[in-house]
């Protein structure tokens, strides 16, 4: 009996897939990266399926690549050579939703937007909302500590994670955290697993914090600028004034043009950048009016303020279209550097300079209130990987972000793509400590090898 036959024998029928074409459909994420050749796919439906898979993998020393919806942008879920892909996308139960405690207990395959919709039936919301919230899963969001459009006010996924059920590399089940808003018993293992990109264990359940949904629809502004740096300066002014937006998104000219070419949004020739902001505070109209005035003071050529939910949805839809619009232009190297908010204008200028110096198309959007920028390096679809000038421009962007006191990744994770720059930020002591943590949880090195650290 082969080792795969032994795994199939211990899993319910239909859970193990070995057809090469089917395997290939599970082996990729949204990057251009070419995956390794995997042995099989396990379609987990229960925690027991995950336990069985990990016990088998530990016994036979086979790498395991945990996977959600495959919407990642850093290569974290791409198949490793000779691995088994462990898909959690069919673990979709919201097993508990408690309005009294403002928590939910969910399996990792739950779609982010579905949890938010379920919470809103009780006057609550699930705050993290990455742009892929209609297709990305809670498990994937936890694995990368995803952020989103509302993170300027409500924080990233880690801020909503209270406790986890995790299957370790040897098949043991670990429960971390608690159901309470407070708790400092022992080390913060929940925080350790959030953002670990499947390298320490496989999350099979999560207890997450819900928040009260705003009583009224948020007020929204949209501002157009003649330069991207002016838009960044407006963000700095808004945050410095203490306006506390619930959303603050910035789009550059190249991104807006890609969206306009696709969906005809009526882009003006003079518009080089757009800033979209929202407030869901009790005095949202006053707050958003103040933000609009700060945009005008920073050089905005046009500002519109609205409390209409329909108009707000249209504006937010423009922001959520950004990545799909850029994918139409070519293959994309998507990055997400984060800098202190005060450095945002200088970081914008550095990205524009890198694009010009290396003759590379860079389309930039930003969760601007957090200083989290997504410069997307676009190159020809037919190219196996980014050409030399793209890597050179990316090198420059990452180096500048670190010079400004920033980080290589704000929310997408390291995956495979950012490992080449890790030493610039981490240093040898940090690398040694992280490798030591990895060895404690995964001594055989079978969990998502080659990713994150």
182-221 pLDDT, tens digit each: 888 999 999 999 999 999 999 999 999 999 999 889 999 9
Scored b (16 or more CB within 10 A) or e, 9-40 reads: eebeeebbbeeeeebeebbbbbbbbebbebbb
Question: 3-class SS at 388?
Answer: helix
User: What was the pLDDT predicted at 140?
Assistant: 97
Structure tokens at 246: 């619930």
Distance between CA 370 and CA 340 in Å, rounded?
8
CATH 3.30.465.10 boundaries in the chain: 94-212
Question: Between β-strands 202-209 and 161-167, what pairing exists: parallel, antiparallel or unpaired?
Answer: antiparallel
User: What was the pLDDT predicted at 306?
Assistant: 87
User: What was the pLDDT predicted at 384?
Assistant: 77
CATH 3.30.70.2190 boundaries in the chain: 215-320
**Cross-strand partners of 415:** none
User: What was the pLDDT predicted at 24?
Assistant: 96
User: What was the pLDDT predicted at 385?
Assistant: 86
Distance between CA 272 and CA 229 in Å, rounded?
10
CATH of range 215-320; options 3.30.479.20, 3.50.50.60, 3.30.70.2190, 3.40.50.720: 3.30.70.2190
Q: How far apart are the first and last CA of the chain?
A: 36
Question: In which residue are the tokens 């707050």 written?
Answer: 287
State the virtual CA torsion across 208, 46, 70, 7 in degrees, nearest 10.
150
- Residue 166: pLDDT band with limits 50, 70, 90: very high
The pLDDT tens digits for 253-289 are 999 999 999 999 999 999 999 999 999 999 999 999 9
Question: In the CATH hierarchy, which fold is given to the domain comprising 94-212?
Answer: 3.30.465
Mean pLDDT of 169-175: 98
**Cross-strand partners of 94:** 106
Is residue 251 within 8 Å of residue 235, measured between CB atoms? Answer: no
Q: Taking every pair of C-alpha atoms in the chain, what is the biggest distance, in angstroms? A: 73
User: What was the pLDDT predicted at 116?
Assistant: 98
Residue 237's CB is within 10 A of a number of other CB atoms, namely 16
For the cut 80, the answer to whether the pLDDT of residue 2 exceeds it is: no
Helix ranges (DSSP H) in 304-405: 309-320, 322-327, 344-358, 388-403
DSSP class of 216:
S
Enumerate residues 6+ apart whose C-beta is below 8 A from 58.
169, 170, 171, 444, 446
The pLDDT tens digits for 300-327 are 999 999 888 898 888 888 898 998 999 9
Mean pLDDT of 163-167: 98
User: What was the pLDDT predicted at 11?
Assistant: 97
Distance between CA 445 and CA 156 in Å, rounded?
28
User: What was the pLDDT predicted at 255?
Assistant: 96
Q: How far is CA 265 from CA 250, 254, 380, 428, in A?
A: 16, 14, 25, 48
Does domain 2-87 fall under CATH 3.30.43.10? My reply is: yes
The pLDDT tens digits for 361-377 are 999 999 999 999 999 99
**Cross-strand partners of 379:** 331
User: What was the pLDDT predicted at 274?
Assistant: 97
Residue 92's CB is within 10 A of a number of other CB atoms, namely 16
Mean pLDDT of 150-172: 97
Element (H, E) at 235: helix 228-240
Structure tokens at 36: 């390794």
User: What was the pLDDT predicted at 436?
Assistant: 97
The pLDDT tens digits for 421-430 are 999 998 899 9
User: What was the pLDDT predicted at 351?
Assistant: 96
CATH 3.30.43.10 boundaries in the chain: 2-87
The pLDDT tens digits for 53-74 are 999 999 999 999 999 999 999 9
User: What was the pLDDT predicted at 370?
Assistant: 92
- Residue 382: pLDDT band with limits 50, 70, 90: confident
User: What proportion of the chain, given as a percentage, has pLDDT over 70?
Assistant: 100
For the cut 90, the answer to whether the pLDDT of residue 152 exceeds it is: yes
For the cut 80, the answer to whether the pLDDT of residue 417 exceeds it is: yes
- Reported pTM: 0.94
For the chain, give the mean pLDDT: 95
User: What was the pLDDT predicted at 381?
Assistant: 85
Q: Nearest 5 degrees, angle CA 286-CA 287-CA 291? A: 115
Instruction: Give me the sign of the Cα torsion angle 65, 70, 74, 78.
Output: positive
Q: How far is CA 399 from CA 34, 233, 336, 361, 426, in A?
A: 26, 22, 13, 18, 13
User: What was the pLDDT predicted at 26?
Assistant: 98
The pLDDT tens digits for 124-146 are 999 999 989 999 999 999 999 99
Structure tokens at 128: 């993290």
Question: Between β-strands 40-43 and 84-87, what pairing exists: parallel, antiparallel or unpaired?
Answer: parallel
Distance between CA 404 and CA 410 in Å, rounded?
14
The pLDDT tens digits for 72-88 are 999 999 999 999 999 99
Residue by residue, DSSP assigns 278-318 as EE-STTHHHHHHHHHHHHHHTTEEEEEEE--HHHHHHHHHH
Strands of the sheet containing 64-67, edge to edge, are: 16-17, 40-43, 84-87, 64-67
């Amino acid at each position: 009996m082969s080792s795969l036959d032994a795994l199939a024998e211990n899993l319910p029928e239909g859970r193990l897939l070995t057809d090469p074409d089917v395997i290939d459909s599970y082996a990729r994420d949204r990057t251009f990266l070419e995956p390794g050749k995997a042995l099989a796919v396990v379609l987990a439906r229960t925690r027991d399926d995950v336990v069985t898979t990990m016990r088998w993998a530990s016994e036979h020393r086979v790498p395991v690549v945990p996977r959600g919806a495959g919407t990642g942008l850093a290569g974290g879920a791409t198949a490793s050579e000779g691995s088994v892909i462990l898909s959690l996308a069919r673990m979709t139960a919201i097993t508990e939703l408690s309005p009294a405690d403002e928590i939910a207990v969910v399996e990792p395959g739950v779609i982010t937007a579905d949890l938010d919709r379920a919470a809103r039936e009780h006057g609550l919301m699930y705050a993290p909302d990455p742009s892929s919230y209609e297709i990305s899963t809670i498990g994937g969001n936890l694995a990368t500590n995803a952020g989103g459009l509302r993170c300027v006010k409500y924080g990233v996924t880690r801020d909503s994670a209270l406790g986890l059920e995790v299957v370790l590399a040897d098949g043991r089940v670990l429960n971390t955290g608690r159901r309470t808003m407070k708790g400092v018993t022992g080390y913060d293992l929940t925080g350790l697993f959030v953002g670990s990109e499947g390298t320490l264990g496989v999350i099979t359940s999560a207890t997450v914090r819900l928040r009260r949904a705003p009583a009224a629809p948020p007020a929204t502004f949209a501002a157009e600028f003649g330069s991207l740096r002016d838009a960044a300066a407006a963000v700095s002014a808004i945050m410095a004034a203490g306006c506390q937006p619930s959303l603050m998104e910035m789009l550059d000219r190249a991104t807006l043009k890609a969206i306009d070419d696709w969906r005809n949004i009526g882009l003006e020739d003079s518009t080089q950048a757009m800033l979209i902001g929202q407030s869901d505070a009790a005095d949202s109209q006053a707050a958003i009016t103040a933000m609009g005035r700060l945009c005008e003071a920073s050089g905005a050529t046009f500002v519109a303020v609205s409390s209409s939910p329909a108009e707000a949805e249209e504006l937010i839809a423009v922001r959520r279209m950004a990545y799909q619009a850029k994918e139409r232009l070519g293959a994309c190297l998507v990055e997400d550097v984060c800098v202190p908010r005060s450095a945002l204008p200088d970081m914008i200028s550095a990205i524009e300079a890198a694009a010009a110096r290396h003759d590379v198309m860079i389309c930039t959007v930003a969760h601007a209130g957090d200083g989290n920028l997504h410069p997307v390096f676009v190159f020809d679809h037919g190219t196996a990987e980014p050409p030399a000038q793209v890597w050179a421009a990316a090198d420059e962007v990452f180096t500048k972000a670190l010079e400004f006191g920033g980080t290589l990744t704000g929310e997408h994770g390291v995956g495979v793509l950012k490992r080449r720059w890790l030493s610039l930020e981490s240093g040898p002591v940090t690398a040694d400590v992280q490798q030591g943590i990895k060895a404690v949880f995964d001594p055989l090195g079978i969990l998502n090898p080659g990713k994150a650290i």
